Structure 1
Amino acid sequence: MDNIPCPHAWAVLNSKNLMADEYCSDLFKPKTVVKTYDMPVDPLPDEIQWNIPTHISDEVVLPPRYKRPPGRPKKKRDKPLIELMIGKHRNVCSTCERLGHNRRSCTNEPRKKK
């Protein structure tokens, strides 16, 4: 994606004694990086010398109307009708397949398999 070999590819290149520069994009080679900073970069002039259009300087920027409360936001979703009708989850015994308990506390006979 970045035209740089991944760590696995680097390991293969090193084991085969191949030059990794041939497999990198020219953007990441030292010569290109030096050329990037070859040209002088002019800093911004002093704030007094800035040329700001009037329609931007006249615009008033206000802070947000409210602050977001701290903490994780609450879930706000509409539950489907089936979730509302069934209610909360209940334990199901894996031995007798009845509701309200699990197999450790089961006193019923095991259900016969068909």
Structure 2
Amino acid sequence: MEEMPCPHAWVVLKSKNLTTDNYYSNLYKSEAVVKTYDVPVYPLPDESEWKIPASISEEIVLPLRYKRPPGRPKKKCDKPLTELLPNKYSNSCSRCGHEGHNRCSCRNEPRRK
């Protein structure tokens, strides 16, 4: 991937007394490194001397609408269908007939037949 032999290949090349110049990319040779510095690099002038086009200087940059909260995002779990639908059945007491409790926790008077 890097156009260089792996460490195992280097050991084999050294043990066979082969030159390693033919086995890696020209980007890693000293001539290529020297060529990168052939072109002079000039520093930027002072900020007061910059020439900025009017279309860019008039452009307004607004901040983001929302800020991403810190931490790992929470999982978005899908709820089962039974949890989304309203409960059809509720507890009804066999003693008084009211809903919401059962016979063991009933405090109402027994219903009359």
Corresponding residue for residue 14 of structure 2: 14
Question: Partner residue of 1:68?
Answer: 68
Q: Distance in 1 between matches of 2:77 and 2:52?
A: 47
Could you tell me the percent identity over the aligned residues?
A: 69
Gaps of 5+ in 2: 82-113
1:45 deviates by 1.7
Q: Over aligned residues, Cα RMSD in angstroms?
A: 2.1
| TM-score, normalising length: structure 1 | 0.61
Task: Write the deviation string for residues 41-98 of structure 1: whole angstroms up to 9, x where unpaired.
Answer: 11222212212111111111122222211111011143676xxxxxxxxxxxxxxxxx
Give me the whole-angstrom Cα distance separating, in 2, the residues matched to 1:29 and 1:63: 46
The one-letter code matched in structure 2 to 1:78 is D
> What stretches of structure 1 move > 6 A for 4+ residues in a row?
none
Aligned to 2:78: 78
Q: Give 5+ residue unaligned stretches, structure 1.
A: 82-114
Largest Rg, 1 or 2: 2
Number of aligned positions between the proteins = 82
Alpha-carbon distance between aligned partners in 2 of 1:75 and 1:39, rounded to the nearest angstrom: 52
* TM-score in terms of structure 2 length: 0.61
Secondary structure at the aligned position of 1:75 is classed as coil
Counterpart in the other structure of 1:105: none
Matches within 5 A, 1:40-59: 40-59=40-59
